[in-house]
C-alpha cells in the first residue's frame, strides 16, 4: 500500500507547532482531513497539504464525565466536532471554555494540546 502524502505523524508534528493541516485533492479540489488514501469524490490519490486557519464553530459536542484511566483526572471535559471555516470538520478537546458555556455554533480556535510528549487537537476561545 502506498504511503499517504500526509501521515498522522506529520499531521501531529504540524499540530504541535500550531498548524492545523488539511489535504486538498489535486484533481477535483476536494478538501478533507488526513490521513486519507484516496479522494472520496474522484478516487484519485493526489493530495496536497493545505494549512487551515484553525477557526471554526462547534458543530456538536459531548461532555466526558467518565474518562479512560489516563484522562480520568481531567473529567469532566468536553470533546467537540468543529466545523472549520474552510468547510472541513475535525474533532478536538475543548480546552478553556467552561462546560456550561458550550453551545452549537460557538466560535472556537485551534489550540494544540501538548502533554507528556504527546500532541492532541484542542479548541478554545477565539
- Whether the Cβ atoms of residue 93 and residue 78 lie closer than 8 Å to each other: yes
The footprint of Zn ion (CB under 5 A) covers 25, 27-28, 30, 39, 41-42, 44
**Minimum distance between the CB of residue 25 and Zn ion, rounded to whole angstroms?**
3
**Minimum distance between the CB of residue 85 and Zn ion, rounded to whole angstroms?**
21
Beta-carbon contacts of residue 62 (< 8 Å; ≥ 6 apart) = 78, 79, 80
All cell numbers assigned to 3: 504511503
**Minimum distance between the CB of residue 38 and Zn ion, rounded to whole angstroms?**
8
Q: Which is nearer to Zn ion, 47 or 61 (CB)?
A: 47
Q: Which is nearer to Zn ion, 23 or 25 (CB)?
A: 25
- Whether the Cβ atoms of residue 5 and residue 47 lie closer than 8 Å to each other: yes
Amino acid at each position: 500500500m502506498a504511503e499517504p502524502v500526509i501521515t498522522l505523524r506529520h499531521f501531529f508534528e504540524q499540530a504541535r507547532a500550531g498548524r492545523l493541516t488539511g489535504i486538498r485533492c489535486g484533481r477535483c479540489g476536494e478538501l478533507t482531513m488526513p490521513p486519507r488514501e484516496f479522494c472520496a469524490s474522484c478516487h484519485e490519490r493526489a493530495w496536497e497539504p493545505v494549512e487551515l486557519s484553525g477557526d471554526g464553530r462547534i458543530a456538536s459536542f459531548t461532555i466526558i464525565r467518565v474518562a479512560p484511566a489516563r484522562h480520568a483526572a481531567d473529567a469532566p471535559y468536553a470533546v467537540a466536532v468543529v466545523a472549520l471555516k474552510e468547510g472541513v470538520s475535525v474533532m478536538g478537546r475543548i480546552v478553556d471554555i467552561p462546560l456550561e458555556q458550550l453551545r452549537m455554533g460557538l466560535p472556537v480556535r485551534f489550540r494544540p494540546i501538548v502533554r507528556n510528549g504527546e500532541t492532541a487537537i484542542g479548541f478554545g476561545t477565539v
